[in-house]
Structure 1
């Protein structure tokens, strides 16, 4: 039976929580084992309609599996309707969530009960009436701070208007700035809040270093030295999203505008290093092929932008290099979160010019963490 897709207004009753209330809610009991969770094939009434949740946790601590388990637990497999909608800021993250849900849902004989996608794509299929929303009872915003930022906010509002008024909403991210938390009143009602203190966001097994670089051109030589001499399994180099003019080889008369990561990857390859690169402007099929090759260990180094900063797991990555410092404190946390996951040791190395040292010190102070000068001997680090 087709469902009506008449957009409904955002309820005015969902009031914003006070700015001082952004702490973990009281009375939230910790469950120490899966056996104690009471998971079953027949969800109870409280499992079918729980409270709204704002959940924050460090990178690599299992946020995806948490809401994937909850999604699989609450669906009624006797119905054929989509009952859970999970939104992610990138297709890469949406695909990863799909794989986790499928792995868990394999044991529950699911049909298409859970949809994982990006806001724009989901909004499109809703408007085309390909996705029926009347039975959706759980909305998950993965990387909620990114989804509620300027680039996605209007799409999130539009998707939300098509959902049932009694829907349960779960917001999940490693970073939840105050300005984002103040916006959540549009979506959540009296939520359970699980919030990590700023000085606990950095994973304990991640060591952070800085390498002062007086001239920008010296960054490349420094990166080559790191890659050539450090005993790492795999590493990720982050550049900011900027285009540069590149003149090609010394004998060529042409020039073109290219993405920074492409320029850096080509320079590394010209120096006989094997590297991969990935950025948001690449076709998705190409990005998938690059990720598959990197996961297989075909190369030790990935050069990328912040498209790689959230939710992408590669077990062997133990080094993150900030070739450019990120544009926000939150992005620093997400980049650093690519290492030190699941109890493994990781290292973050920041290339900083003289004027950028204060930026790094501000990040260090804000999160109560420690960034040391990089020692000359790699054996002292990894």
Structure 2
């Protein structure tokens, strides 16, 4: 009977279809996926821009120009002499700083002692680090509060200063926030709900955040003003005075600039406490910047510029115009001549300006056409030629423009295209700043 039952079971099994084990779910998903789309081959890297004659423009070479004595004539101090935090010293040396420049030697120990400072020094001599280092030393990363503000007149300078803070303070754990009129107010407000130690920006935006109660300044005991002559213009000064009113009474104010007009004195008398005055401006014009002028009629300017591009050994150049419209027109002309060229001016979207500034600084292009937006404190080490396509209308603007070449004591050249009605301003600049602007020689190849 058992044998009969086994035979019946075997017969039933043969009649049933073969059952496969259920497929793995992952396999099912793989089977359902559509076939992979064909991926196009990776596009080759963009050809580097050219700078005349169709020759490929490599990134600017490392700057090996000799430095002038306005950054080398130091007292021989070392950064270690200021008893800075070990982590701060690490950031300073990793950023490539070797020894303090004269403005840093003068200002760092005074700022660390808590004194107000009124400092006048040339462009490109290390002013930014002269106030950033004391800020980073005195602030406490374990304290969740805004402890220092840095005011600058332009968005570009705010971003650059923020980067210096991050580079020098990379081992300190500080939260650095940049806020300017071109950024989203909503995003800035949300950011301030988290910890911020150092706040960098333009006066109008920082005052707005303080008035809204989202930027609490009750623990902010340091305020640094870079390019203070611009910050104390009628446009900004009332905003700054309101902003300082949000700070504690025992605040410390540091003012830095290349020029200090009369308006600075009234601000000093009203808001500063016996400031320590530093003046490293025996000669106002930058040492190391050789200045020339050429009589050029309007219709000849582009031709003259073309000649300079063809004959000068340019690492990077900045060409200044007096209006945003002329900036765009000239940039188009330069591109048509076959030279790589970017342009930047105040009417461009902030995001676009940031991209142009970043790419030019990283060597993506040799030439930049700019309005006076770009004159204050912007540090592009490879720029060795500045051309005033339009001659500036004031001595202060001229000083800041030619300061784009010869950054941090490197040697550079400034070339001015002048018309007959510019000569009076040029002579006034020579006399006021005790400088010399020579007529451009015939053999321009020898200028650099």
TM bucket, shorter chain: 0.7 to 0.9
For normalisation by structure 2, the TM-score amounts to: 0.71
Q: Residues 42 and 134 from structure 1, CA distance in 2 versus in 1: closer, same or farther, beyond 3 angstroms?
A: farther
Which residue, 304, 311, 317 being the options, matches 1:229?
311
- Tell me whether 1:238 sits opposite 2:320 in the alignment: yes
Q: Quote the Cα distance in structure 2 between the aligned partners of 1:65 and 1:237.
A: 27
- Alpha-carbon distance in structure 1 between the residues aligned to 2:254 and 2:75: 18
Superimposed CA distance per residue, residues 243-276 of structure 1 (whole angstroms, 9 cap, x where no aligned partner): xxxxxxxxxxxxxxxx220111112223333211
Match of 1:94 among 158, 181, 200: 158
Aligned to 2:399: 333
Counterpart in 2 of 1:208?
Answer: 291
1:150 — aligned with what? 234
Indicate how the Cα distance of structure 1 residues 241 and 165 shifts in structure 2: closer, same or farther if over 3 A, else same. farther
- Cα distance in 2 for partners of 1:221, 1:320 equals 17
Deviation at 1:335, TM superposition (A): 0.9
Q: How does 1:337-356 map to 2 (within 5 A)?
A: 337-356=403-422
CA distance in 2, matches of 1:299, 1:280: 20
2:370 corresponds to which of 304, 320, 341: 304
1:343-374 C-alpha deviation (Å, 9 max, x unpaired)? 32100001111121121111111111111111
Measured after TM superposition, the shift of residue 293 of structure 1 is: 2.1
Indicate which of 92, 96, 103 corresponds to 2:167. 103
Aligned twin of 1:188: 272
1:365 is paired with a residue whose SS is helix
Higher helix share: 2
d(CA) in 2 for partners of 1:263, 1:337: 24
Question: How many matched pairs?
Answer: 334
Residues of 2 paired with 1:147 and 1:154: CA distance? 10
For structure 1, the 5+ residue unaligned runs are: 1-28, 243-258
1:31 is displaced (CA, Å) by 7.1
Please name the residue that 1:67 is paired with: 131
CA offset at residue 187 of structure 1? Answer: 2.2
Secondary structure in structure 1 of the residue aligned to 2:118: strand
Q: Which secondary structure does the structure 1 equivalent of 2:291 belong to?
A: strand
Alignment map for 1:9-48 (pairs within 5 Å): 32-40=77-85
Normalising by structure 1, we get a TM-score of 0.83
d(CA) in 1 for partners of 2:291, 2:150: 33
1:170-196: per-residue Cα shift (whole Å, max 9, x none)? Answer: 111111123333332222121100023
1:299, CA displacement in angstroms?
A: 2.1
Q: Counterparts of 1:292 and 1:121 in 2: how far apart (Å)?
A: 23
Q: Counterparts of 2:127 and 2:391 in 1: how far apart (Å)? A: 26
Q: Equivalent residue of 1:129, what SS?
A: coil
RMSD over equivalenced CA pairs, Å: 2.1
> Aligned partners of 1:30 and 1:344: how far apart in 2?
20
| Aligned 8 A contact 2:115 2:252 in 1 | yes
Q: Deviations over 1:132-160 (max 9, x none)?
A: 10000101111100000122122212212
Cα shift at 1:314: 1.4
Divergent runs of 4+, >3 A: 40-43, 46-49
Structure 1 residues 373 and 139: alpha-carbon distance in aligned structure 2, compared to 1, 3 A threshold:
same
Match of 1:140 in 2: 224
Question: Matched residues in 2 for 1:234 and 1:283: separation?
Answer: 24
Alpha-carbon distance in structure 1 between the residues aligned to 2:259 and 2:372 = 15
**1:217 correspondence with 2:299:** yes
CA deviations on 1:257-301 (whole Å, 9 max, x unpaired) are xx2201111122233332110001111110111112212322211
**C-alpha separation in 2, matches of 1:218 and 1:281:** 27
Change (3 A) 1:179 1:153: closer
Larger Rg, first or second structure (1 or 2): 2
Do residues 292 (structure 1) and 358 (structure 2) align? yes
Distance 2:75 2:366 in 1: 39
Q: Cα offset for 1:229?
A: 2.4
- Distance in 1 (CA, whole Å) between partners of 2:447 and 2:337 is 25
Bigger mean CA deviation after superposition, 180-189 or 305-314: 180-189
Contact 2:117 2:253 in 1 (8 A): yes
